[in-house]
Amino acid sequence: MTEWLLWLRAPLGCGPGIRRLFGGAAMAALILGSAPGRAEPWKDCAYNDRPIPCRDSHSNDGTVRIVWKDGKAMTYRLVKEGFPLSTLRDTLGGLWEREIYVQGNAVFANKANGNRVFVPLR
């Protein structure tokens, strides 16, 4: 067996059927993981009530990243978790209050400058 395939083997003690299954699953993950991913579709977002398509992504630590179709992007880090209101800080240092509505839509409001971001669930 070549060196690059050694890591595909199942742990010792498994029968040949399990080893084949484990190796096949690992190979599929390798192939799929290297294929180009499809980007999420643009959502009908708004910045200060001006419609601009955006994409949002969320991390396990509460960080939210919004990428706007015009090329701009901003990352918001969780400062204080709550529901339906949370406080986040953008990469420029601004504080935002995020409110999540029953249907899953979110509104980010910066009380210091009056800016408002609307991000629908879908």
- Write out pLDDT tens, residues 1-58: 433 333 333 444 545 543 343 344 433 333 334 445 677 899 999 999 999 999 999 9
Q: Which two tokens stand for residue 106?
A: 């979110």
Q: What is the pLDDT of residue 96?
A: 98
Q: How far apart are CA 15 and CA 19, in angstroms?
A: 6
Question: What is the reported pTM?
Answer: 0.68
Q: How far apart are CA 67 and CA 117, in angstroms?
A: 12
Burial of 45 (0-12, 13-18, 19+ CB in 10 A): buried
22 sits in which H/E element? helix 16-34
Question: Among the listed ranges 33-47, 90-104, 106-120, which one has the minimum average pLDDT value?
Answer: 33-47
Residue 103 has pLDDT above 50, yes or no: yes
What percent of the chain is modeled with pLDDT above 70? 69
Say if residues 89 and 74 touch (Cβ distance below 8 Å).
no
Q: What is the pLDDT of residue 108?
A: 98
Which residues, including other chains, have CB under 8 Å from residue 59's CB and lie 6 or more apart?
65
Give the count of alpha carbons within 13 A of 61, CB side only: 7
Q: How far apart are CA 92 and CA 98, in angstroms?
A: 17
